[in-house]
Amino acid sequence: MGNMTNASLTALRIDAGRLAARIDALAAVGAIEGGGVCRLALSDADRAGRDLVVGWMKELGLSVSIDMIGNVVGVRAGNESGPPVMAGSHIDTVKTGGRYDGNLGVLAGLQVIQTLNDANIVTHRPLAVAFFTNEEGARFNPDMMGSLVYVGGLPLATALATVGIDGQAVGDCLEKVGYGGTAPVGQPQVHAYVELHVEQGPVLDSEGITIGAVEGVQGISWTEFTVTGVSNHAGTTPLRLRHDAAYVACAVASEVREIAHALGGDQVATVGSIQLSPNLVNVIANQAIFTVDLRNTDETRLQEAERLLHEFVAAIAAAEGVTVSHRMLARFEPVAFDPTVVGLVEDTARQLGHTVRRLPSGAGHDAQMLARICPAGMIFVPSVAGISHNVKEFTALPDLEAGANVLLHTLLKLSN
C-alpha cells in the first residue's frame, strides 16, 4: 500500500471540486434545456460521452478494454494480479435525464483512481472502473443490457440483434458509434463490485440522511401490449359499434394504478409510453401500443400484479371486441446484495461521520447484474425531492462528495 500509514489512509478524501467539474463536463455532452441530459444508448451523444470518459480513463493510466457489447472497463494494477475490485455504473441516459443518474458512479470511480494516483497508493488487488452499455433500456430493451450480457444473463447475439424503438439494431448502432469492441464479454472477472448512485427516490432526502446502504433491488416487469381495434368516424359511430384501441389502452393505464393500490406495500405500476394510430382527433384509434412497468420488492406479489393485469386486459379486450398481443421487454426478479458489502458500506459511512440507513433500490442498476458473479453492493446519496429521470434531478455537492468518499474507502477495504 505504498508508504501510507493506516491513519493517513483513513484520512484520504476525494477532491469534490474535481468531481463536480467532471460531472458538469460530461453533462455538457447531450445537454438539454433545464440542465438535463439526453444521451440515449449508442446514439451520437452517447459516443461523445464515451469518448470523453475513455479519455479521462487513459489520462489516469488505466488500461482500457471495450468488449463486444460496448462495455468499457479501465483497470488499475494492484500489487497482486487477479480479479479487480470494480466500481461502475452507466453513462447512457433516458431522453429527459438528469446529470447524476449513472454518471456519478463512473465519475466518482475515476476520482477514487485519481486520489490514489495523487497519493501514490497501490492497492493489493487491482481496481477497475466500468461503464456498461444501455443500462437505461429506454431505446433498446431490456434495461441493464450491457451488464446482463457481461454476467452471461443474455446471449451476446441476442443483444446485438435487438431492435430499438427507432427500428435500429444494437449491433449496427454499436458499429456506427465505434464501440463494438473486441474484448470477450465478461472479462475481467470481478472480485467485488460497488456502485455509487443517486437514490432517485424520496427516502434519504425526506429523512435528512446522507448515505444509503442499499440492501437490494426490487423486481422489474416490463410488458409491451399491442391492441388492435377498428378505425371509425369519431362522430358517426355509436358506442355499441366501437372497437376502440385507445379506450382499452387508457383503461389499462387506469387499472394498473388500482392494482398497485390494492396490492399496497412497495407495488408500483407505470404506463410510460402509449402510441396511438392513426392518432387523429376525429378518428377512433385502431391501434394502441403501450408499455406497463410493474415493480415490487416481493416476487410473489409482483407475479400477482402481473396476473391481475393480464386478467383485466383479457376482460376488457373481450368487452370492447379488440385483439391484444403482448411481449415481455424486461423481467428481473428482486436481487439481494451481499450482506458483507452492505455492512461495509454502512460501517464506512459511519466511520466517515455520515448518517446512513439501509434501504432497497426502486430503480434497476448494473449492480443487480454484477451480483450474479461476485459480491456486490450499492451506495446511495439523496435525490432532492426524489426527482429523477427528469432534468430537475439534483444532488447537493456535499452529498456527492460524501458518497464518493464512502466509495473510496469501501473500495480500499475490499482491495486490501
Residue 306 as a binder of ligand HGY (CB under 6 A): the answer is no
Binding residues for Mn ion, rule CB under 5 A, total 2
Residue 143 interacts with ligand HGY (CB under 6 A)? yes
Q: Are strands 211-217 and 335-336 parallel, antiparallel or unpaired?
A: antiparallel
Region binding ligand HGY by CB under 6 A among candidate stretches 9-17, 81-89, 135-143, 344-352: 135-143
Q: Which residues contact 302 (CB under 8 A, 6 or more apart)?
A: 219, 221, 267, 294, 295, 296, 333, 334
Give how far Cα 104 sits from Cα of 112, 172, 198, 213, 401, Å: 12, 28, 8, 16, 10
Q: Which of 46, 101, 205, 306 binds Mn ion (CB under 5 A)?
A: 101
Nearer to ligand HGY, 136 or 401 (CB): 136
What does the block give as the cell for 89? Answer: 455504473
- Tell me if 102 contacts Mn ion by CB under 5 A: yes
Residue 199 lies near Mn ion (rule: CB under 5 A): no
Q: Which of residues 361-380 bind ligand HGY (CB under 6 A)?
A: 363-364
Site string for ligand HGY, 323-362 (x = CB under 6 A): ----------------------------------------
Cα 85 to Cα 39, 133, 190, 235: the distances in Å are 27, 19, 6, 65
Tell me how far, at minimum, the Cβ of 136 lies from ligand HGY, in Å.
5
Report what 143 binds from Mn ion, ligand HGY, none; CB cut-off 5-8 Å by kind. Answer: ligand HGY
- Please, what is the minimum distance in Å from the beta carbon of residue 207 to ligand HGY? 22
Grid cell at residue 241: 359499434
Q: Is 136 in the site for ligand HGY (CB under 6 A)?
A: yes
User: What SS3 class is residue 371?
Assistant: coil
Q: Select 98 or 171, whichever has its Cβ closest to ligand HGY.
A: 98
Q: Is 401 in the site for Mn ion (CB under 5 A)?
A: no
Burial class (CB in 10 A: 0-12, 13-18, 19+), 280: exposed
The answer to whether 164 contacts ligand HGY (rule: CB under 6 A) is no
**CB of 101 or CB of 346, closer to Mn ion:** 101
b/e sequence 141-155, b meaning 16+ C-beta within 10 Å: bbbbbbbbbbbeebe
Q: What CA–CA distance (Å, rounded) separates 176 from 24?
A: 26
- When asked if residue 135 is in the footprint of ligand HGY (CB under 6 A), the reply is yes
Q: Where are the beta strands (DSSP E) in 242-396?
A: 268-270, 274-277, 283-284, 287-296, 323-332, 335-336, 356-361, 376-381
Grid coordinates representing 162?
Answer: 435487438
3-state SS class at 402: helix
Among ligand HGY, Mn ion, none, the one that 102 touches (CB under a kind-dependent 5 to 8 A) is Mn ion
Nearer to ligand HGY, 245 or 369 (CB): 369
Residue 164 Cβ, how far from ligand HGY at the closest point, in Å? 15
Stretch that binds Mn ion, among 24-32, 78-86, 100-108, 250-258 (CB under 5 A): 100-108
Could you tell me which stretch among 132-140, 261-269, 345-353, 391-399 binds ligand HGY (CB under 6 A)?
A: 132-140
Q: Does 98 bind Mn ion (CB under 5 A)?
A: no
**CA proximity to 294, closest of 327, 259, 251:** 259
Q: Looking at 70, 137, 334, 382, which residue binds ligand HGY (CB under 6 A)?
A: 137
Longest dimension (CA), the chain: 85
Of the ranges 20-28, 134-142, 157-165, 341-349, which one interacts with ligand HGY (CB under 6 A)? 134-142
Among the listed residues 120, 135, 129, 26, the one whose alpha carbon sits nearest the alpha carbon of residue 73: 129
Size of the site for ligand HGY (CB under 6 A): 6
How far is Cα 220 from Cα 217, in angstroms, rounded to an integer? 9
Residues binding ligand HGY (CB under 6 A)? 135-137, 143, 363-364
